[in-house]
Amino acid sequence: MYQFILSRAVVHHIKNLDKAFSETFRVLKEVGIFLIQDRTHEDLDVKASQSNLRVYLYEFKPSLKAYDKARRHSEKRVENCLISA
């Protein structure tokens, strides 16, 4: 059993969030922490800045934004899967 699980830039690679989160909580201690850091659909629409350089790439190559959006889950989808896990 683990006390802390970090998922950084992983969630957008997972097709079956329900299964992945269920397994995560199975191996997490009851008082453990599961920390997720990843971009969602909503993040792709944030304006370009020094802390969000990726958007400049979208302006240079718009097809990249469509590709990125297709492979990412919405914030609500991730939240719902976490709640049901």
Is the model's pLDDT at 44 over the cut of 90?
no
pLDDT band per the 50, 70, 90 thresholds, residue 59: confident
Share of the chain above pLDDT 70, in %: 100
Apex 17 CA angle, 83 and 15, nearest 5 = 160
Q: What is the mean pLDDT of residues 61-78?
A: 91
Of the candidates 37, 27, 46, the residue with the CA atom closest to the CA atom of residue 78? 37
* Model confidence at 23: pLDDT above 90: yes
Helix (H) or strand (E) holding 30: strand 28-37
Band of pLDDT at residue 85, cut at 50, 70 and 90: very high
Residue 33 pLDDT grade (very low, low, confident, very high; cuts 50, 70, 90): very high
Q: What is the mean pLDDT of residues 69-84?
A: 93
What local confidence, expressed as pLDDT, does residue 57 receive? 86
